[in-house]
Amino acid sequence: MSEQSHFEELRDVNVWVSLTDSKLDIAWVISRVKSPKAGAVVLFAGTPCPTLTLAPSLIWLSGTTRDNFDGKPVTHLEYSSYAPLALKTMLSIAQSVKEKHALTAISMVHRLGVVPIEEESILIAVSAPHRQAAWKGGEEALELCKEKVEIWKLEEFGGDEGGVWRANQDGKGGVQVESLDASHHG
């Protein structure tokens, strides 16, 4: 039995942003930004893909969906958004970063739904004539996406602790799930 997947996208000239509930495809995101005009491609990914053959001009940044937060075990993350608004914000960020850093192209895709530990939740690929612009543009796109895009995550902890909903921002506090449930019933 195959699962139905959900995919939404907005685009502009050499700019692609999308939301999906499917596992993210690194090669697909890179293929969107590769160009004979670009001497460098930067990719931010949740975890490295050992089967991907990397070009010499590809700068690879790697992070991972951790199995812990603040000393607590995390079983998985679950991402949620209001897609029309999140996509508009992502498109605005991508257009702005592309212009500011004179990028050749940019592609951003964020996964929604349950994301198991060690799977990617976001991929951002940028290309530029020179590596400095690609590096700076890729980093800025990631930071702005985490700061501004209307995506929320549930960090589900093991044991009796439950989970915490938080904005998709590094180091920001969240709201304990039980607190939310209690406020809706009382």
Token representation of residue 169: 């921002």
DSSP 110-133: EE-EEEETTS-SEEEEEEESSHHH
Q: Which residue has the tokens 């198991």?
A: 116
Number of helical (H) and strand (E) elements in the chain, helices listed first: 4, 12
Can you read off the two tokens belonging to residue 72?
């607590």
Residue 19's pLDDT is what?
97
pLDDT confidence of residue 6: 86
Reported as a single tens digit per residue, the pLDDT across 80-123 is 999 999 999 999 999 999 999 999 999 999 999 998 888 888 99
pLDDT above 80 (res 3): no
Handedness of CA 62, 53, 96, 38 (dihedral sign): positive
Question: Mapping DSSP to helix (H, G, I), strand (E, B) and coil, where does residue 155 land?
Answer: strand
CB 156 within 8 A of CB 77: yes
Question: What whole-number distance in Å separates Cα of residue 29 and Cα of residue 106?
Answer: 9
3-state helix, strand, coil in the chain (%, to 5): 30, 35, 35
Q: How many residues does the chain have?
A: 186
pTM: 0.81
47 pLDDT more than 50? no
Cβ atoms of 95 and 113 closer than 8 Å: no
